Amino acid sequence: MIRRGVTCLVGVSSGFTNSPPRVDEICGTHNGRKLYLDLGDRGTLRASFVDDALLQQEQRTSHATCSLEIVTCPACVITATFKYLNLSSCSTDSSCRCDYVWIFEPPFESSGSPFCGNNGGGQSYRSLTRTLHVSYLFSTKRRDAFEIEYRAERNKQVLGLTPSTAITKSGFDGNATRGGELVSPFFPANYPRDIGIEYVITTMDQKSNVQVIFTDFQLSSSSIIEMYDWNGQRLQVSSGASFRPPIVISSGPSLIIRFYANGGFGLGFKAVYTFLTKW
């Protein structure tokens, strides 16, 4: 069971992306607080030492908990990468049954992932939203349990398909290749009021166009979706006041879609993109 910490505001960034990275102990003075980052800000979060005194102070259930919540700009996400992780899984199936790190994006509990094991690092989590909560759940004292390097990045997703993996799909007159699905964060859960995302759909095949068809579209009237051609020309803009956007086809091999919540919230959207081959 995760024990929630007291919310405080600490470490507000100066806004300069070339500022030196932060180094914090998750069970240190910022335990249970919030850390705010600007685009490009980075830092390190460690669990260097847990002693008997800390266990007695923190433990209320089977696990004691130290935590830190990281918040960045509305159009940003957070990437967290383990530099090292020294927490045995204590199970034959590698599940995290003893001490572990729990990472999730409030209020989306389904986003949670446990991290444990004994390795040199490399495991990572990239958020879909601007908030990342890191909790360290422990029942024994130990040194150097883990170290996480985190960074605030632009909320941009690149989606595509190379010609070598293109598969002709029936029903499209033989000139469409398989694409993929485009969804708002944690659809169909309500998206955050302050989120901003850019999707870039692209292919290496210069003879292809991008087609996007929205199958679900449940946005607030204040939220908008903009679609831009490969040359920067705006092709379409739709808000939640619309039933759904029309089918959009780019004139070149890429298409840019930008989604802005603009203070509204709704279930979000789902779309299917495919690549149409020119003859």
Average pLDDT by consecutive 10-residue portion of the chain (279 residues)? 35 50 90 94 90 55 85 96 90 81 93 86 92 92 91 94 45 59 94 95 89 96 96 94 93 95 95 86
Candidates 14, 12, 15, 9; CA nearest to 34 is 9
Rounded Cα–Cα distance for residues 14 and 152 (Å): 14
Residues 55 and 69: their CA atoms lie apart, in Å, by: 21
Contact status, residue 10 vs residue 35, Cβ threshold 8 Å: yes
Could you give all domains of the chain from N- to C-terminal order, each with its CATH number? 9-154 (2.60.120.290), 156-277 (2.60.120.290)
Contact 188, 267 (CB under 8 A): yes
Rounded Cα–Cα distance for residues 179 and 272 (Å): 7
**pLDDT in the model for residue 10:** 41
**Three-class secondary structure of residue 56 per DSSP:** helix
The encoded tokens of residue 92 equal 């034959």
Q: What angle do CA 212, 217, 223 make, to 5 degrees?
A: 105
| pLDDT score, position 161 | 67
pLDDT at residue 151, rounded to an integer = 97
* Cα–Cα distance measured from residue 127 to residue 115, given in angstroms and rounded to the nearest whole number: 15
- Proportion of the chain in helix, strand, coil states, percent, rounded to 5: 5, 50, 45
pTM: 0.81
Which pLDDT score is estimated for 51? 60
Residue type at position 154 = R
Backbone angles phi, psi at 58, to 5 degrees: -95, -30
pLDDT value of position 217: 96
Judge residue 93's burial from the number of C-beta atoms within 10 Å of its C-beta, 0-12 exposed, 13-18 middle, 19 or more buried: exposed
- Nearest-angstrom CA–CA distance, 267 and 27: 36
Nearest alpha-carbon partner for 273 in 180, 186, 195, 199: 180
> How far, in whole angstroms, is CA 62 from its chain's centroid?
29
Give the contacts of 57 (CB within 8 A, at least 6 positions apart). none
Helix (H, G, I), strand (E, B) or coil at 128: coil
Q: Let me know if 227 is exposed, middle or buried by CB neighbors in 10 A (0-12, 13-18, 19+).
A: buried
As given in the structure block, the two tokens for residue 25 are 């102990």
* Closest to 272 in 3D by CA, of 196, 205, 176, 190: 176
